[in-house]
Amino acid sequence: MGCGTRRGTLRVSGFAPDAARGLRRVFLRGLEARARLGVHAHEKAGPQRIIIGIELAVEDADVAAGIGVDHLSRVVDYERVVMAARSIASGEHVLLVETLAERIALAALADPKVVAARVQIEKPDAFPDVVSVGVVVERTRPPC
């Protein structure tokens, strides 16, 4: 959908599926990747293990219209989401985990069906006595 359509005023709340509004929730959990990430010298020495989770609010006009069209053009390509997240994570060194999460969220928003993206990045090996540390960011498609 382009500018001037329902998307310009669409508000996403809680990433819950909503048939009346033509929204579905797409998620990716537990993507393990290696990232050159962090501000400390030992973090700059080489990549570290991270765990990525992504939730997307995806608009589907066919659902709102009650049309059960079984066609790939209606959905977000999971493989593209995974490949983009891996590529961004393995790219250049990033100081902040927040920056990495924001870059992944913006890549997901490149798909015009995605109206909001929530990205969680965990660093499970940051501290020996902590299961993981990390951040969650949420980004929405800017209004037209």
Q: Which domains does the chain have, with CATH numbers?
A: 17-140 (3.30.1130.10)
Total-model pTM:
0.84
Supply the residues annotated as catalytic.
Answer: 123
Q: What span, in angstroms and rounded, lies between the C-alpha atoms of 50 and 107? A: 18
Q: Does residue 10 register a pLDDT over 80? A: no
Q: Does residue 62 register a pLDDT over 50? A: yes
State mean pLDDT over 81-105: 97
What order of strands is seen across the sheet that includes strand 48-59?
Answer: 23-35, 48-59, 114-123, 133-140
Q: How far is CA 82 from CA 9, 97, 126, 130, in A?
A: 29, 18, 23, 27
State mean pLDDT over 6-27: 67
Please report the pLDDT score of residue 12 as a whole number. Answer: 56
pLDDT above 90 covers what percent of the chain? 65
Please report the pLDDT score of residue 7 as a whole number. Answer: 42
